């Protein structure tokens, strides 16, 4: 019996490792369930990217539905995503940036905050500025607490500060219709049932036609 057990144990370990590697190679990380969904947004207290005297905390979510977009100027996909995010802003959605910079370490980095701000202004001026404001995740603590693995990543946070959607990769019309619009409809129904009117933008879930340049794009993935 012992001899059989010693034979079986390595076989089970091998099979488990094979299944794990197979899932890692052939599954799309953008489709994995996020552990952040249905949890409260992590507590934070962080400065504004452009003015460190302005401090933000979780009160930014009070009574407002917010899209938190994790991005950086070093991320090519983030720049590609900006025009679509700006179109969401034009449709009335509130978007807040959660910014971190790969090349800026507060203790050892060679890039200054002034240079970061210059690059941000140039990027937003070129591709579009969808943000109500940008929170500067100086040490990346909040990004790590959220389970962020790269950029861009986008979170839909409801009026109670609870994360309802976590999307990895660029946001486009197809992703919006499939992942975000249904949850926005749920939030609207929940609040109306409670006698609250959040005055959300008109939900365009049943829009007749998607922009041609977006319908063919199903997400370029997270830039690293």
Reading the chain (224 residues) residue by residue, the pLDDT tens digits are: 555 455 555 555 555 544 433 333 343 444 444 678 999 999 999 999 999 999 999 999 999 999 999 999 999 999 999 999 999 999 999 999 999 987 665 555 577 889 999 999 999 999 999 999 999 999 999 999 999 999 999 999 999 999 999 999 999 999 999 999 999 999 999 988 877 777 678 665 544 444 444 444 444 444 54
Tell me the C-alpha distance between 202 and 217, whole Å: 24
Question: What tokens does 137 get?
Answer: 């995740």
Mark out the alpha helices in the chain (DSSP H runs). Answer: 2-26, 76-90, 113-127, 141-146, 173-175, 181-193, 212-215
Who's near 181: CB < 8 A, 6+ residues apart?
203, 204, 205
pTM of the complete model beyond 0.85: no
DSSP 28-74: -GGGSPPTTTTSBPPP-EEEBSS-TT-EEEGGGGTT--EEEEEE-TT
Question: What tokens does 10 get?
Answer: 């390595």
Looking at residue 191, its pLDDT comes to 87
CA 107 vs. chain centroid, Å, equals 26
Of 127, 145, 182, 126, which is closest to residue 68 (Cα–Cα)? 145
Looking at residue 208, its pLDDT comes to 44
Task: Give phi and psi for 107, each to the nearest 5.
Answer: -100, -35
Tell me the C-alpha distance between 218 and 208, whole Å: 18
Looking at residue 11, its pLDDT comes to 53
Place of tokens 């879930």: 205
- For the domain made up of 36-194, the CATH class stated in words is alpha beta
Looking at residue 217, its pLDDT comes to 47
């Amino acid at each position: 019996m012992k001899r059989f057990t010693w034979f079986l144990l390595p076989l089970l370990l091998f099979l488990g490792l094979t299944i794990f590697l197979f899932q890692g190679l052939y599954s799309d990380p953008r489709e994995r369930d996020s552990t952040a969904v249905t949890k409260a947004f992590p507590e934070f207290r962080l400065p504004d990217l452009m003015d460190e005297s302005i401090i933000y905390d979780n009160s930014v979510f009070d009574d407002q539905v917010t899209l938190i977009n994790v991005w950086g100027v070093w991320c090519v996909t983030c720049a590609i995503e900006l025009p679509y995010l700006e179109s969401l802003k034009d449709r009335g959605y509130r978007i807040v940036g959660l910014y971190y910079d790969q090349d800026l370490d507060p203790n050892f980095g060679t890039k200054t905050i002034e240079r970061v701000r210059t690059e941000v202004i140039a990027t937003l001026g070129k591709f579009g500025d969808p943000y109500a404001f940008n929170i500067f995740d100086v040490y990346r603590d909040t990004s790590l607490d959220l389970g962020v693995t790269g950029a861009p990543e986008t979170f839909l946070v409801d009026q109670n500060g609870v994360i309802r959607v976590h999307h990895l990769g660029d946001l486009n019309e197809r992703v919006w219709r499939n992942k975000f619009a249904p949850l926005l409809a749920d939030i609207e129904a929940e609040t109306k049932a409670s006698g609250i009117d959040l005055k959300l933008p008109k939900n365009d879930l049943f829009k007749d036609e998607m922009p041609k340049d977006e319908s063919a794009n199903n997400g370029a993935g997270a830039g690293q």
